[in-house]
Amino acid sequence: MNRQILRPVLIGLLIGAGLYFMPFFILRVALLILIAGLILRLVFGRGRFGRGFPERRLQMADRIRNMSDEEYARFKERAATYGCGGRKGFNNPQNEQHEK
């Protein structure tokens, strides 16, 4: 009978101690992830929306302004079908002109 009571008490103590100390471990892991992210951002930059993004956005606007009506209609059709970026075989109409 002693063993029947002792086992649930020990399990309850382990679960209780785990729940009590869990915030400290979660805080340490979160702090580690934040520090690692900061170091990676400092080393590799901000990526897609980092340096040079405003210039690329303006270049895309200039490309669209310089398209003919036919190219613009094809561009809108493909953008509606495939979405933004280079996913699923979407090519910029200007790139197709250079390939010909």
pLDDT number for residue 31? 92
Structure tokens that stand for 10 in this block: 């020990």
pLDDT number for residue 47? 61
Domain assignments of the chain as residue spans, ordered by start: 2-45, 48-85
pLDDT tens for the chain, residues 1 to 100: 677 889 999 999 999 998 898 888 888 999 999 999 988 888 877 666 556 666 777 888 888 888 889 988 988 888 887 776 555 554 555 555 555 4
pTM for the model stands at 0.37
Is the C-alpha dihedral spanning 71, 73, 79, 81 positive or negative?
Answer: negative
